[in-house]
Amino acid sequence: MATNDIGDGAIAGIITGVIMGILALLLALIGLASLVAFVDVRSIFGGVMPIAGFAAASLTAMIALLLFMAIVGLILGAIFGGIYEKIPTTSAVTKGIVFLLAIWVIFGLLIPILLSAGGAMPTALTATSIISALIAAIIWGGLLGMMFHWVSGKTAAPARPVVR
């Protein structure tokens, strides 16, 4: 385990976390826009806060989500960089997918099943969260592997010419 692999993984993780945060924000905004046809969102929040306050709160929430995703990405990327050589596949993308699938088994599969077994979540919601977490893990893992490969190439020392 080289320390530059951990650093490269952390940088790749931050980039990947921000990309995934932007994707999550876009999906949330698309979902919110689709609700407008059925519910006037401004009238729901209008009594609580004015329009300008709602926009500022949304921007603050977006920035907070991006920062949170960058921090999560930093942690996952550093762990990925630390165990990169031990993951038994050949390409960085497949190593990233395998790594995030292992994380998914713990957080995206076992925890929702345990919560559902305790009666805290309905079965349909459990299945939906498991499947959506699986899709997100595959996308995040592929992006993490691509970013790790890119960052590693950018930070590698240039090759010295062979003197004969």
The token pair at 80 is 């990925």
Is residue 20 a part of any domain in this protein? yes
Tens-digit pLDDT profile for residues 85-129: 999 898 999 999 999 999 988 887 887 777 676 666 677 767 777
Is residue 35 a part of any domain in this protein? yes
Domain that holds residue 95: 3-154
Distance of CA 98 to the CA centre of its chain: 15
- Cβ proximity of 127 and 60 under 8 Å: no
Sorting pLDDT into bands at 50, 70 and 90, what band is 70?
very high
- pLDDT confidence of residue 35: 54
Is residue 79 a part of any domain in this protein? yes
Residues ≥6 apart with Cβ < 8 Å to 42: 51, 54
| Most confident range, picked from 21-25, 30-34, 67-71, 123-127 | 67-71
Is residue 22 a part of any domain in this protein? yes
Burial (CB < 10 A; 0-12, 13-18, 19+), residue 95, is: buried
pLDDT at 40 over 80: no
Is residue 163 a part of any domain in this protein? no
- Cβ proximity of 138 and 93 under 8 Å: no
Question: Mean pLDDT throughout 16-45?
Answer: 70
Is residue 161 a part of any domain in this protein? no
- Cβ proximity of 17 and 70 under 8 Å: yes
Is residue 159 a part of any domain in this protein? no
Is 0.95 topped by the overall pTM?
A: no
- pLDDT confidence of residue 161: 61
Distance of CA 131 to the CA centre of its chain: 15
Count of the separate structural domains present in the chain? 1
